[in-house]
């Protein structure tokens, strides 16, 4: 059974109209672009709506590869730090490297990343007590869709959302190209989810919490829409990571500096902003999870990656109290 979208203002089930959803009570309308409903508040960068209208026009006319190139050329620069970081890495590649990247898109962006994330999901679910249901799953901050695409092979019905609607449209186009038809894509913010209470059996959110503007509100929303007995699996980059370079800017021990200094240093050395990333310490994450999940959560300090490395072998033998405070990532399992 599909889950009915709810109005963000008054939680009424929305009515589907041609090209939009409408709230029967407050009459609020939520526009649909290229088959993706838009529930996020406002534009996330200036000119976003124009970009989305262009993407909608081209959606059916282009192959996936053409569409991906087109979408990447459309993004407004200096507006979305996460995309800026990705685009700048891409811009440093030569023409041949770009072509190779496009040819390997499935393998590099979707399959490899998706397999790693499903592996994390499975490891975290081993800590779950009782029966695990997977009928309705949600990926929050799905980006271009690695978790959702791999999960679609295992689970029945998947919803995948992101604030960045262009990424969601690209992910939808990829799935259409690959014949994957059990994922429903939407654009929304994790801090205002257009779903009724208790809707999902499994909620995943990996590589997202440190990007989210209102982290506590997002965890509250996740807990609200999780079904009783359902599970939330996620991760959170550790501010006091002592074992690897900070994954967004590739600088070591940056979390030990005051945040404003870390941002300035990142701009000076890496030319990337860092004020949009909010990694939590173990204490901060614990406090937020306690407020939202009560006692029904666990923080798992280490999950062995599918990719063997020297760092992984060393981390495996580290005492849990060290890992809890100083490993690169905290893994989260929540229930209700
Ligand atoms: C590092 S990417 C990870 C994407 C995907 N989970 C993956 O692993 O490939 C972080 C994603 O979080 C999204 N994001 C940031 N804040 C968000 C919010 N408040 N609600 C939903 N998505 C958000 C960004 O647009 C971006 O796609
Ligand atoms: Zn309403």
Q: Which residue has the higher pLDDT, 104 or 150?
A: 150
Write out the DSSP string of 48-61.
HHHHHHHHHHHTTT
CA distances from 316 to 122, 234, 311, 325, 331 (A): 18, 20, 9, 15, 15
> What pairs with residue 184 in β-bridges?
159
Radius of gyration of the chain from Cα atoms? 20
pLDDT value of position 78: 45
Is residue 184 a contact partner of residue 160, using CB atoms and an 8 Å limit? yes
pLDDT above 90: residue 162: yes
Are 150 and 158 in contact by the 8 Å Cβ rule? The answer is: no
What pLDDT does residue 46 have?
82
Strands 36-37 and 183-187: unpaired
* pLDDT in the model for residue 69: 84
Report the residue among 8, 44, 137, 143 best suited for mutation to probe ligand 1: largest number of ligand atoms under 8 A from its CB.
143
Map out the domains of the chain with their CATH numbers.
15-241+279-335 (3.40.50.150)
Round to whole Å and give the CA distance between 316 and 313.
Answer: 5
Nearest ligand 1 atom to the CA of 218 is 19
Number of other residues whose CB lies within 10 A of the CB of residue 130: 8
- DSSP label at residue 211: G
CA 273, CA 287: separation in Å to the nearest integer?
A: 27
Average pLDDT over residues 188-200: 97
Query: Which helix (H) or strand (E) covers residue 249, if one does?
Result: none
95 pLDDT higher than 70 = yes
Looking at the CA of residue 206, tell me the nearest atom of ligand 1: 6
pLDDT at 75: 65
Closest ligand to residue 109's CA: 1
CA of 25 to the centre of ligand 1 (A): 31
How many other C-beta atoms can be found within 10 angstroms of the C-beta atom of residue 260? 10
**Sheet-wide strand order for 183-187:** 183-187, 157-162, 136-140, 200-205, 226-237, 329-335, 297-300
CA of 206 to the centre of ligand 1 (A): 8
Higher pLDDT among residues 75 and 304, named by residue: 304
Question: Which atom of ligand 1 is found nearest the CA of 213?
Answer: 19
pLDDT band of residue 82 (cuts 50, 70, 90) is: low
Alpha carbon of 141 to ligand 1 centroid (Å): 4
* Ligand 1, pocket-test mutation among 137, 147, 148, 162, most atoms within 8 A of CB: 162
| Residues near ligand 1 (Cβ within 6 A) | 82, 113, 140-143, 146, 162-164, 167, 189-191, 206-208, 211-213
Name the residue with higher pLDDT: 91 or 205.
205
Quote the DSSP letter at residue 171: H
Which of 83, 120, 141, when mutated, tests ligand 1's pocket best, judged by the most ligand atoms within 8 Å of its CB? 141
Residue-wise pLDDT tens digits, 29-81: 999 999 999 999 888 888 889 999 999 999 999 999 899 888 877 766 545 56
Q: What is the pTM of this model?
A: 0.96
Q: Are 28 and 14 in contact (CB under 8 A)?
A: no
Ligand at minimal distance from the CA of 39 is: 1
Q: Whose CA is nearest to atom 9 of ligand 1?
A: 143
Task: Transcribe 100-121 into DSSP letters.
Answer: HHHHTHIIIIIIIHHHHHHHHH
Tokens of 195: 């779903």
Query: What would the two tokens of residue 234 be?
Result: 């996620």
């Amino acid at each position: 059974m599909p889950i009915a979208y709810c109005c963000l203002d008054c939680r009424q089930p929305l009515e589907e109209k041609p090209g939009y959803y409408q709230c029967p009570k407050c009459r609020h309308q939520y526009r649909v672009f290229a088959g993706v409903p838009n529930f996020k508040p406002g534009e996330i960068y200036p000119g976003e709506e124009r970009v989305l209208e262009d993407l909608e026009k081209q959606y059916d006319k282009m192959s996936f590869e053409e569409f991906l190139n087109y979408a990447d050329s459309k993004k407004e620069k200096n507006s979305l730090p996460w995309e800026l970081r990705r685009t700048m890495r891409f811009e440093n590649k030569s023409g041949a490297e770009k072509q190779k990247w496009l040819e390997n898109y499935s393998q590099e962006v979707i399959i490899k990343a998706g397999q790693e994330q499903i592996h994390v999901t499975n490891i975290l679910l081993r800590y779950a007590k009782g029966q695990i249901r997977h009928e309705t799953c949600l990926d929050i901050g799905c980006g271009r869709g690695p978790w959702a695409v791999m999960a679609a092979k295992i689970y029945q019905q998947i919803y995948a959302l992101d604030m960045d609607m262009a990424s969601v449209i690209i992910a939808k186009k990829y799935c259409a190209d690959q014949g994957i038809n059990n994922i429903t894509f939407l654009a929304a913010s994790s801090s205002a989810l257009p779903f009724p209470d208790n809707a999902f059996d499994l909620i995943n959110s990996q590589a997202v919490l440190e990007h989210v503007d209102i982290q506590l509100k997002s965890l509250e929303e996740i807990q609200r829409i999780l079904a009783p007995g359902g599970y939330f699996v996620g991760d959170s980059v550790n501010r006091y990571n002592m074992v690897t370079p900070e994954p967004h800017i590739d600088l070591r021990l940056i979390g030990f500096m005051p945040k404003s200094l870390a941002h300035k240093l990142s701009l000076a050395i890496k030319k990337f902003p860092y004020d949009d990333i909010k990694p939590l310490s173990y204490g901060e994450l614990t406090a937020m999870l306690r407020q939202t999940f009560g006692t029904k959560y666990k923080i798992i300090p280490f999950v062995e990656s599918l990719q063997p490395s020297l760092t992984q072998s060393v981390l495996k033998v580290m005492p849990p109290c060290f890992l809890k405070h100083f490993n690169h990532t905290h893994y989260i399992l929540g229930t209700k």
